[in-house]
């Protein structure tokens, strides 16, 4: 046996005994390399509040680790999980290779909402000013400022996450992480330098990226994904959007509002295919009226680009070759996997997790987009918090059940629970309560008469099965239904709740009265 190895084992044993003694006393000790070790690596007692004072017992094997938790990815799953673990008194690092805040804050939810706000404002000024008694001469816009405002909002929030890391004492490690083995995270910095960190637990929150069309690769100019679509330095005269999910529809609305000629191609029968059919049809009518050409039931059969523009051949509702300056491919997302140890994946390539969000590798967890649909920021954060609280407290983690989904075009779309179609397929007995915006005082006062609130109530108890709202501020209104479903409220409780007047949320109560068969205002 190597004499040095014997010495190391002996030293380790001695340290383990030292730690075990402290552990028996209910004292938490930090691993070597931490500030409370002396230069020789001998452990000093931790006197930080939240450690010794709580007398937390830590499994002995974790004492050799640098971190209790390393999170890979700084998006809404990663940064939220990291901060929650730090709040629980854990030593945490978060590794990010792009920008803190992930896709959501930098390239997804937030910058698109900034663009959509600009678009709605511009559309109101140019198309509806007279309705409000405004006489506005010619209106011009500065494209670079439209894009710049959106980037500015992301920059501000990105800095905010870095501040939150500092505030919560989360080590923010910039670089690309891989997992060479359970308990180890290798971080490669932008300059190529590598560092390996030990971690008792690892949370993979590496998210997803835009999926390209087979045989039609992104080139960043004429064939683009959502990231390029939100940062184009020049407004395209025409754009073809392939895929009519939330991302495709939001960009279609944005570009159309600024006068770009927009064609949307969707192979399924409806736009926003996951939404209630009645909502999808209503939105399709509205967007078509605003000038967007929508081709549903239409398949892309050929693609080409020549540096100046694209040609897309389609079959179905239209059989022709469409031409445009740019093609935005919005057909879905693909997983971003960290390299290293082999982890079991689902048949679609997402990381498989158990009921505690643990992967097939012990001590390695997954949350957010990387563990599969639904790919939503609020779902990602929920999963991360469930995972972390399950890991570090007595909490029994929950998997995602009921969650809202929103599309922020105009009119907005928001939903939760089952669609009418899905409820019928399940053979459920239910009543539908539907109330139109045009019958709401607040909606008319705000000049927003378009849309409806539709709630499905189970019979005979009146539990909420699903809710579907299309119209102004529907993305805010859906929260009430989410809370009601979480509390298992029935139509009686919704009806008995006094809703402020005049508000759009009154329509939730009105739709409930419709379902119960005694509406006052329709
Ligand atoms: C255009 C667009 C609009 C969207 N709008 C909405 C919306 O309105 N509402 C909504 O709920 N959702 C929306 N989404 C989806 C939402 O952005 C995602 O669901 C959410 O960001 C997922 O969070 P996450 O933490 O799982 O992954 P991400 O936010 O993607 O974060 C993962 C992070 O990990 C980093 N990373 C990856 N691999 C490594 C590695 N090996 N080492 C270090 N770092 C790594 C990435 O750089 C990234 O920052 C939108 C998405 C897009 C693209």
Atom of ligand 1 at shortest range from CA of 208: 30
The first and second tokens of residue 441, run together, are 């005082």
CATH number of the domain at 223-331, please?
Answer: 3.50.50.60
Q: Tell me which DSSP letter residue 338 carries.
A: P
pLDDT at 233: 95
* Ligand 1 site residues, Cβ closer than 6 angstroms: 72-78, 95-98, 102-104, 107-109, 112, 176-177, 205-208, 226, 247, 336, 338, 368-370, 375-378, 380
Residue nearest to atom 35 of ligand 1 (CA): 73
- Express the helix, strand and coil content of the chain in percent, nearest 5 each: 35, 25, 40
Distance 290 CA to ligand 1 centre (A): 30
Q: How far apart are CA 193 and CA 484, in angstroms?
A: 51
The tens place of each residue's pLDDT in the chain, 522 residues long, gives 344 443 444 444 444 544 443 343 333 334 433 433 333 333 333 333 333 333 334 444 444 459 999 999 999 999 999 999 999 999 999 999 999 999 999 999 999 999 999 999 999 999 999 999 999 999 999 999 999 999 999 999 999 999 999 999 999 999 999 999 999 999 999 999 999 999 999 999 999 999 999 999 999 999 999 999 999 999 999 999 999 999 999 999 999 999 999 999 999 999 999 999 999 999 999 999 999 999 999 999 999 999 999 999 999 999 999 999 999 999 999 999 999 999 999 999 999 999 999 999 999 999 999 999 999 999 999 999 999 999 999 999 999 999 999 999 999 999 999 999 999 999 999 999 999 999 999 999 999 999 999 999 999 999 999 999 999 999 999 999 999 999 999 999 999 999 999 999 999 999 999 999 999 999
Phi, psi of 92 (to 5 degrees): -130, 145
Asked whether the beta carbons of 297 and 269 are under 8 A apart, the reply is yes
Strand order in the sheet with 430-436: 404-407, 413-417, 464-471, 451-458, 430-436
In the chain, domain spans: 61-210+332-401, 223-331, 411-516
Ligand 1 atom nearest 369 alpha carbon: 26
CATH class of the domain defined by 61-210+332-401: alpha beta
Q: In CATH terms, are 61-210+332-401 and 411-516 the same topology?
A: no
Question: How crowded is residue 34: how many other Cβ atoms within 10 Å of its Cβ?
Answer: 14
What is the crossing angle of helices 246-257 and 109-128, to 10°? Answer: 40
Q: How far is CA 315 from the centre of its chain?
A: 33
pLDDT, position 156? 97
The CA 338 to ligand 1 mean position distance, Å, reads 14
The protein residue with its alpha carbon nearest to ligand 1, atom 13, reads: 109
Using CA positions, which residue lies closest to atom 45 of ligand 1? 73
Residue showing tokens 């890391």:
165
Question: Going by CA atoms, what residue is nearest to atom 20 of ligand 1?
Answer: 377
The ligand 1 atom at the shortest distance from the C-alpha of residue 229 is 1
Looking at 61, 395, 501, 518, which residue is catalytic? 501
Q: Identify whether 501 is a catalytic site residue.
A: yes
What is the 405 CA–ligand 1 centroid distance (Å)?
16
pLDDT score of 31: 41
Q: Compute, in angstroms, the gap from residue 294 CA to the centroid of ligand 1.
A: 28
Residue nearest to atom 38 of ligand 1 (CA): 206
Q: Report pLDDT for 220.
A: 95
Separation of alpha carbons 24 and 286, rounded Å:
68
φ/ψ of 448, rounded to 5, equals -130, 65
Please give the CATH topology (third level) of the domain spanning 411-516: Enolase-like; domain 1 (3.30.390)
* The pLDDT value given to residue 65: 58
**Which residue lies with its CA nearest to atom 8 of ligand 1?**
109
The Å distance, Cα 369 to ligand 1 centre, comes to 7
Comparing CA positions, the residue from 471, 466, 448 lying closest to residue 456 is 466
Q: Residue 341 phi/psi, 5° resolution?
A: -50, 145
Q: Do residues 455 and 474 make contact, with C-beta atoms less than 8 angstroms apart?
A: no
Mutate-to-test residue for ligand 1 from 207, 243, 337, highest number of ligand atoms within 8 A of CB: 207
Can you tell me whether residue 180 is helix, strand or coil?
Answer: strand
User: In the numeric block, which tokens belong to residue 228?
Assistant: 């390029």
> Is 62 in contact with 39 (CB distance < 8 Å)?
no
Pocket test for ligand 1, best of 116, 206, 249 (most atoms within 8 A of CB): 206
């Amino acid at each position: 046996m190597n004499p040095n190895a014997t010495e190391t084992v002996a030293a380790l044993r001695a340290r383990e005994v030292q730690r075990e003694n402290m552990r028996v006393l209910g004292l938490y000790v930090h691993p070597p390399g931490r500030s409370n070790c002396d230069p020789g690596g001998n452990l000093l007692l931790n006197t930080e509040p939240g450690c010794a004072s709580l007398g937390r017992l830590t499994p002995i094997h974790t004492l050799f680790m640098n971190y209790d938790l390393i999170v890979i990815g700084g998006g809404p799953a990663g940064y939220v999980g990291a901060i929650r673990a730090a709040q629980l008194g854990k030593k945490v690092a978060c590794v990010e290779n792009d920008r803190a805040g992930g896709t959501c804050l930098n390239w997804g939810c937030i910058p698109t909402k900034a663009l959509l706000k600009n678009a709605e404002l511009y559309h109101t000024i140019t198309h509806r000013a007279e309705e409000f008694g405004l006489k506005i001469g010619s209106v011009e816009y500065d494209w670079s400022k439209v894009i710049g405002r959106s980037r500015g909002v992301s920059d501000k929030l990105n800095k905010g996450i870095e501040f939150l890391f500092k505030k919560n004492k989360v080590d923010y490690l910039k670089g690309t992480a891989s997992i060479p083995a359970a308990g180890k995270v290798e971080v490669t910095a932008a300059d190529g330098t590598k560092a390996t960190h030990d971690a008792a637990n690892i949370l993979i929150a590496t998210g997803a990226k835009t999926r390209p069309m087979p045989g039609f690769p992104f080139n960043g100019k004429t064939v683009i994904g959502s990231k390029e679509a939100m940062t184009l330095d020049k407004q395209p005269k025409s754009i073809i959007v392939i895929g009519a999910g939330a991302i495709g529809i939001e960009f279609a609305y944005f570009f159309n509002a600024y006068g770009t000629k927009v064609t949307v191609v969707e192979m399924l029968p409806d736009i926003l295919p996951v939404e209630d059919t009645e909502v999808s049809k209503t939105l399709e009518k509205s967007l078509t009226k605003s000038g967007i050409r929508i081709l549903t039931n239409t398949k892309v059969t050929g693609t080409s680009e020549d540096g100046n523009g694209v040609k897309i051949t389609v079959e179905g509702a239209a059989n022709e070759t469409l031409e445009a300056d740019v093609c935005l491919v919005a057909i879905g997302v693909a997983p971003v996997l960290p390299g290293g140890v082999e982890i079991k994946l689902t048949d679609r390539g997402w990381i498989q997790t158990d009921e505690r969000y643990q992967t097939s590798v012990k001590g390695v967890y997954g949350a957010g987009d990387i563990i599969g649909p639904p790919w939503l920021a609020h779902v990602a954060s929920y999963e991360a918090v469930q995972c972390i609280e399950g890991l570090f407290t007595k909490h029994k983690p929950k998997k995602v059940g009921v969650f809202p989904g929103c599309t922020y075009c105009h009119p907005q779309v928001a939903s939760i629970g089952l669609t009418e179609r899905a409820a019928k397929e399940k053979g459920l007995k239910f009543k539908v309560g539907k109330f139109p915006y045009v019958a709401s005082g607040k909606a008319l006062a705000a000049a927003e008469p378009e849309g409806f609130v539709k709630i499905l109530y189970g019979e005979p108890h009146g539990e909420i099965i699903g809710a579907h709202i299309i119209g102004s501020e529907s993305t805010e209104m859906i929260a009430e239904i989410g809370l009601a479903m979480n509390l298992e409220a029935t139509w009686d409780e919704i009806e008995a709740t006094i809703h402020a007047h005049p508000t759009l949320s009154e329509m939730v109560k009105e739709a409930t009265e419709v379902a119960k068969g005694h509406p006052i205002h329709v």
